[in-house]
Structure 1
Amino acid sequence: MLVAFNKPYGVLCQFTDRSIPPRPTLAGFGLPPDVYPAGRLDHDSEGLLLLTDDGALAHRLTDPRHKQPKAYWVQVEGEPRGEQLDVLRSGVTLNDGPTRPAQARRLDQPPVLWPRDPPVRYRKTVLDAWLELVISEGRNRQVRRMTAAVGLPTLRLVRVAVGRHRLDALGEAGGWLAPGQWRRLE
């Protein structure tokens, strides 16, 4: 079984939390029993999370050797310049080594995106912009570290696709899957 879930901001990618006070987890969304995340999204990231009860499928979805592309819409602080995008496209050197080249492009404001709770802090004197980044590996906080390395700190991060599965085609009538909603995939 494969399940697509639109993980809201502030939800942990696990079913239990031992911290005090406990934080929201996947257990609060009525997901089918015996499914587990195939990969992760950080607590402060949103968007498409795939869950499965099939270990081999989870491995195919997450192992970098299978090069499943993952697409992210990233709101960054600053105005992206061509040379910053070129560095993202050629691979960024992080403290744990160079990343694989990414697809990187400037986006106009994403056409349909739910409001985040809490909202990203708006500052009149600081420009922000949206990028689409597509990567084929999944290091810890990789997209955030990549954008920071080129001088564009991440303000909001939304995963919109994993492989052929797109969050904007999984909801009612082929539209967006709303935050906190899930559906079984074929």
Structure 2
Amino acid sequence: GEAPTSLLPPGFLSPRIRPLSPRALGAEINVIASSLYRLLHPAGTPPLLPISTPSTSRRAGIPEVNTPPQNRPLLATPRPGCEVGESSAAAARRQGPAMAHGVDCSYMETRLQDTERRMMAALELVNRRKDRAAVRAEIEVLRNERLAYEQEGIQTRKALARSEAHCRALEARVAVLETRARRLEWQRQAADDFAVEHIMRT
């Protein structure tokens, strides 16, 4: 059989979004939503339930037992312009834009755009968290440096106090030595005077 193609005409979606089948688009949205859910919630949180995508088939979700008997032939009868055994892709190409525009993809496009906005918000939140973590790390480094400077200042002040005490002790010792030197000089001068006087008497 011929591979199914997208029912959307070129340019119907945003240029950044490749036309996907509803099943593939739903799978991609589930993957993105699961990634964001794991990113924004802590470990141990119950997993996110998959997002159900609306069916593009007009017969989806209509049980035959609940369909009135007079409507069952309508559901079983092929649509006008479609032969028995003809693929939906071939019918879409033959009917052109009218059938493509009849498929409501606004829901999926809105969900995809909303998911993209959530992804960008999550990335911005992660970047802000990284920025805050970097700022906190820098603040911690500065705090440690400040503590180191404070400890160094305390040690410097203690060393300065010891140096000042040592200088005062040296000054006191010099004063004592100067006093002794003056006393010895006085005693020597007195001895010289006594010797001269003794010589003069003799």
Category of TM-score, reference length = shorter chain: under 0.3
Q: Name the TM-score, length of structure 1 as normaliser.
A: 0.19
Q: Name the TM-score, length of structure 2 as normaliser.
A: 0.18
The structure richer in strand per residue is 1
- Rg larger in 1 or in 2? 2
